[in-house]
Amino acid sequence: MIDFNVSKSRYVRAVQCIKMYWMDRVKPEEFDDSVMDEAVLETGNEVGELAQKLFDNVSVVEYSDDKLQMINRTSEYIRLGKRYIAEASFAYKGRFLSVDILEVCDDGVIINEVKSSTSVKDVYLDDAAYQSYVLSLSGFNVKRVNVITLNSSYVRKGELDLTQLFSVTDVTCQAFLRHQSVEQLLEFLSQDLDLTVEPDVSVADYCFSPYPCGYFGYCTRHLPEENIFMLKNVNKKNKLDMYNRGLYSFSDVINERVVFSRLRPVVKDQLLKEKIIDKKEIGRFVSKFRYPLYYLDFETIQYAIPPYDGMKPYQQTPFQYSLHIEYEDGRLEHKEYLASDGFDCREQLATRLVNDIPKGACSVAYNMAFEKGVIRDLADYFPYLRDELTDIYDNMLDLMIPFKNHWYYDKEMQGSYSIKAVLPALFPDDYTLDYENLEGVKRGDQAMAAFRKMPSMSEEEKQQVRNQLLEYCKLDTYAMVMIMRKLKGAIYE
Ligand code: SF4
């Protein structure tokens, strides 16, 4: 089997960082695949397949590890006069590429590159440049290069309107303008890059953008265990700035007075490892809450391709909520909603929600911008529920505030104020408040993935996953109850 030394993904990775290309070829075992998002890959495939329907009678070249087989099948399709070919594959001097959808015209070809995002990013132009360059060298007249993305303002109404759902952007000029850089980089990769010597490349902003690099752990292995890249709420630019000044460890930063004072108070608490309890601010904060309190948490899913009316690509769509009601005397009541899979649950969920939270009640969320966004969308889509939903929206308070403002800080939070960091810091020994003790679903992204997979599960699996989802979401609101109690207790400590 021929191993082509450059493919379009390898080329794009080389543009991001030469060392990344080198690592892919020489030390791929060092790659940390936690940077890969399985859901993103699945979405990409789903969108790619749907985009093929924009064209008539698309002939698909099946994926094979044997790239020659793909190339031969493409030639066969061209010989048979097929007009649209998906995954049309070519190679020229060891450079391989598969075009998402190739249109073969009498006087040349049109490249259609499909992306599941909602805008044309710069990195797509490198991809387009590589494809058009290699195809041109292979003797094809590349007439046009299109990038097909999702249209974020498309709102589904009835059947999917593919011509509205997708946006087609002609990037021919931008792609051709980059041909010289493509040529230079390809030449460097094939002639100058010595695969026996690890490139001397330092970490920089390209380690994070356009894609997070899976070799970051390898490239920063010389840093101490507690290093500046672990600092929370400090942006990448500031971290790289410190790195370039030779400040690697927490103590390096503390000792460097200029940097340290510039980053105060963002990193001070993390570095000095203080415990902070600002009783005055916390007291002011908790006095705003009026019992009974309605602790609310949604789980949502984002569909690239809107499955129901009134939905846009990637709109946050709720499928579950948990609601703990806490009375002034400490009594707790729990309500919850979890949609069955395979139907548009939004109306049912919104109706249940306004029945569960009476008008004027004080609702509580952790990072309420998210919950408010979901409620606002529901209110927009169901005008007859707008009054009640707006009432919940207006009466919501955010339990994250004391932690975000460092009125309550514990070193175990490691600079983070997410509930997943705050909870174990506040209740280190409480088994019932540890997400790790949950079965199956322990994080929001896992909840979303589990709900997405439900339609393909057996009844038994579904029931199991439903139980896991209910337990997970319930812990989110129970955690809020306990955090609130901790805050109130802290005032009198
Ligand atoms: S971590 Fe940064 S320097 Fe290392 S290979 Fe990746 S992008 Fe290049």
The answer, yes or no, to whether residue 2 has pLDDT greater than 60, is no
Question: 439-474: buried (b, 16+ CB within 10 Å) or exposed (e) per residue?
Answer: eebbebeebbbbbbebeeeeeeebeebbebbbbbbb
The pLDDT confidence band at residue 382, using thresholds 50, 70 and 90, is very high
pLDDT over 70, % of the chain:
97
Let me know the angle formed at the C-alpha of 460 by 456 and 464, rounded to the nearest 5 degrees. Answer: 95
Average pLDDT over residues 376-402: 97
The pLDDT of residue 1 is: 53
Q: What is the pLDDT of residues 227-252, one digit of tens each?
A: 889 887 788 888 998 899 898 988 88
Q: What is the pLDDT of residues 172-225, one digit of tens each?
A: 999 999 999 999 999 998 888 888 999 999 999 999 999 999 999 999 999 998
Q: Which of 15, 206, 209, 222 to mutate to test the pocket of ligand 1 (most atoms within 8 A of CB)?
A: 206
The pLDDT confidence band at residue 266, using thresholds 50, 70 and 90, is low
The pLDDT of residue 415 is: 77
Q: What is the pLDDT of residues 291-302, one digit of tens each?
A: 999 999 999 999
The pLDDT confidence band at residue 3, using thresholds 50, 70 and 90, is low
The phi, psi pair for 167, rounded to 5°, reads: -110, 135
Average pLDDT over residues 351-374: 97
The pLDDT confidence band at residue 273, using thresholds 50, 70 and 90, is low
C-alpha 222 – ligand 1 centre gap (Å) = 14
The phi, psi pair for 32, rounded to 5°, reads: -95, 105
The answer, yes or no, to whether residue 397 has pLDDT greater than 80, is yes
The pLDDT of residue 254 is: 79
Question: 20-58: buried (b, 16+ CB within 10 Å) or exposed (e) per residue?
Answer: bbbbbbeeeeebeeeeeeeeeeebbeebbebbbebbeeb
Task: Give the pair of three-digit tokens for residue 10.
Answer: 């390898």
Q: What is the pLDDT of residues 278-331, one digit of tens each?
A: 999 999 999 999 999 999 999 999 999 999 999 999 999 999 999 999 999 999
C-alpha 328 – ligand 1 centre gap (Å) = 54
Q: Position of tokens 């290699």?
A: 134
Who lines ligand 1 at CB under 6 A?
17, 19-20, 23, 201, 203, 206-207, 213, 215-216, 219
Residue nearest to atom 5 of ligand 1 (CA): 20
Three-state SS at 165: helix
Q: What is the pLDDT of residues 142-165, one digit of tens each?
A: 999 999 999 999 999 999 999 999
Classify residue 143 as left (phi > 0), alpha (psi -120 to 50) or beta. Answer: alpha
The pLDDT of residue 42 is: 87
* CB proximity list for 400: less than 8 A, separation 6 or greater: 366, 367, 368, 417, 419
The pLDDT of residue 204 is: 95
C-alpha 12 – ligand 1 centre gap (Å) = 13
* CB proximity list for 377: less than 8 A, separation 6 or greater: 315, 316
Name the residue among 112, 98, 120 with its Cα closest to residue 143.
112
Task: Give the pair of three-digit tokens for residue 109.
Answer: 């070809």
Q: How many residues belong to the chain?
A: 493
User: What DSSP string runs through 35-97?
Assistant: G--HHHHHHHHHHHHHHGGGSSSEEE----S-HHHHHHHHHHHHHTT-SEEEEEEEEETTEEE
* Amino acid identity, position 330: G
The answer, yes or no, to whether residue 34 has pLDDT greater than 90, is no
Name the residue among 442, 403, 441, 397 with its Cα closest to residue 425.
403
The pLDDT of residue 76 is: 97
pLDDT averaged over the chain?
92
Return d(Cα 441, Cα 447) in angstroms, integer.
6
The pLDDT confidence band at residue 93, using thresholds 50, 70 and 90, is confident
The pLDDT of residue 86 is: 97
C-alpha 87 – ligand 1 centre gap (Å) = 29
C-alpha 219 – ligand 1 centre gap (Å) = 6
The pLDDT of residue 54 is: 96
